[in-house]
Amino acid sequence: MGIFDRISESVKKNVNTQPDSSDMSFRNSEEKGSGKIISVINQKGGVGKTSLCFNLAHALAQKNNKVLLIDFDPQFNLSTVVLNDLPNEDEQVFQLLINSVKQLKTLHSPTMLSEAIKSINPFIDIISGGQMLSGFELTVGGINSVRQTILKKFFEHHQLKGMYDYILIDGPPTLGLLVVNILCASDGVIIPFIPDAFCQTGIRNLETVINDIDEMGLGCTPEILGLIPNLFDKRRKFARNELENIKKELNNFTFFPEIENKVDLFKAMGEKRSVFSFKSKEYNDIKNKFSHIADYLLEKYKYEKEKPSLHS
């Protein structure tokens, strides 16, 4: 029996017919701070989620924003890019979340948020992912409290929005409970995709999940900020036509400017460096793409922050 089976067995044994009213861990928690939680999601792998999270964090940092990266992918590529060594399991996002659920707390060693937050530079921190995340769904499967909002409540409990300007979540290449937790916790969602003949189905499926969350009445429907056509080959007429068709079919979405297949970005990720750490001119175009997305976020949420209150 693996660790997740053991956990899930012990959870099942503890299942009551009534919701766990003793779960006080998040009682009275209040959301403070004006930071925004932005997730980068697509259930397909290799579309550029991790590259976007990493470089967008640097673009926001360049503009004096304090950013927390959260690697919510069991394959933990973002953590590998950012950290020399993967932190031990007690300091990964999985353990933090499991420890935030009263019913599961006793089954795990205690974790300290302050130890799990690793600083990359004065503007960027990260909470690492790890393979344990692949057992999230099974581990929380038997709990009596709401399973979709564990991450949201975790943020609220620790008032992380008050500590950061932006929290960027790198999503996994799946569409299960991990992604539902990310969506429920997010203010905005960005969807990078490769503009090929198959991408629409995946994007529509993701849209359905968001609509389902809305219908569940959990009070946490995120806004889809936009789609980013990535790894676009603008020299090919076929690719340009394909993208036009996609934009027509998905005309209820906003599209960010497309990002081409840039060997510079590929190289930078391979060297575990952000594109902003390169001085040479070839990087200017790709830097501008990420800066543009950062500017969009700053503009959008600055406006919200400054909007006068109707009650004042």
Ligand X SMILES: Nc1ncnc2c1ncn2[C@@H]1O[C@H](COP(=O)(O)OP(=O)(O)O)[C@@H](O)[C@H]1O
Do 69 and 168 meet the contact criterion of CB atoms below 8 Å apart? yes
Two tokens at 54? 């990493």
Alpha carbon distance 47, 59 (integer Å)? 19
Please, which residue, 142 or 192, has the CB nearer to Mg ion? 192
Please, which residue, 170 or 242, has the CB nearer to Mg ion? 170
Say whether residue 51 binds ligand X (CB under 6 A).
yes
Do 171 and 70 meet the contact criterion of CB atoms below 8 Å apart? no
Which range of residues in 2-10, 40-48, 215-223, 300-308 is near ligand X by CB under 6 A?
40-48
Say whether residue 49 binds Mg ion (CB under 5 A).
yes
Q: Which of 29, 62, 261, 288 binds ligand X (CB under 6 A)?
A: 261
Secondary element (H or E) of residue 151: helix 150-158
Number of residues that bind Mg ion (CB under 5 A): 3
Contacts of 237 (CB under 8 A, 6+ apart): none
Q: Which of 11, 37, 43, 49 binds ligand X (CB under 6 A)?
A: 49
Q: Which does 289 bind (CB under 5 to 8 A by kind): Mg ion, ligand X, none?
A: none
Q: Which residue minimizes CB distance to Mg ion? A: 50
Q: Which of residues 154-183 bind ligand X (CB under 6 A)?
A: 173
Two tokens at 304? 């919200």
The 72-111 site mask, x for binding Mg ion (CB under 5 A), equals: -----x----------------------------------
Say whether residue 103 binds ligand X (CB under 6 A).
no
Say whether residue 33 binds ligand X (CB under 6 A).
no
Long-range Cβ pairs for the range 112-121 (8 Å, 24+): 113/158, 115/90, 115/91, 116/87, 116/90, 116/91, 116/92, 117/68, 118/82, 118/83, 118/87, 118/91, 120/69, 120/82, 120/83, 121/61
Do 246 and 235 meet the contact criterion of CB atoms below 8 Å apart? no
Alpha carbon distance 249, 225 (integer Å)? 17
CA-wise closest residue to 228 among 168, 296, 278: 296
Q: Which of 259, 293, 294, 298 binds ligand X (CB under 6 A)?
A: 259
Say whether residue 230 binds ligand X (CB under 6 A).
yes
Please, which residue, 41 or 243, has the CB nearer to Mg ion? 41
Angle at 126 between CA 57 and CA 189, to 5 degrees: 50
Say whether residue 47 binds ligand X (CB under 6 A).
yes
Minimum distance, C-beta of residue 256 to ligand X, in the bound complex (Å): 12
Say whether residue 271 binds ligand X (CB under 6 A).
no
Please, which residue, 292 or 302, has the CB nearer to ligand X? 292
Largest CA distance in the chain: 63
Say whether residue 265 binds ligand X (CB under 6 A).
yes
Say whether residue 43 binds Mg ion (CB under 5 A).
no
Please, which residue, 185 or 265, has the CB nearer to ligand X? 265
107: helix, coil or strand? coil
Pairing state between β 67-71 and 36-40: unpaired
Contact positions vs Mg ion (CB under 5 A): 49-50, 77
Contact positions vs ligand X (CB under 6 A): 45-51, 77, 173, 230-231, 259, 261-262, 265-266, 269
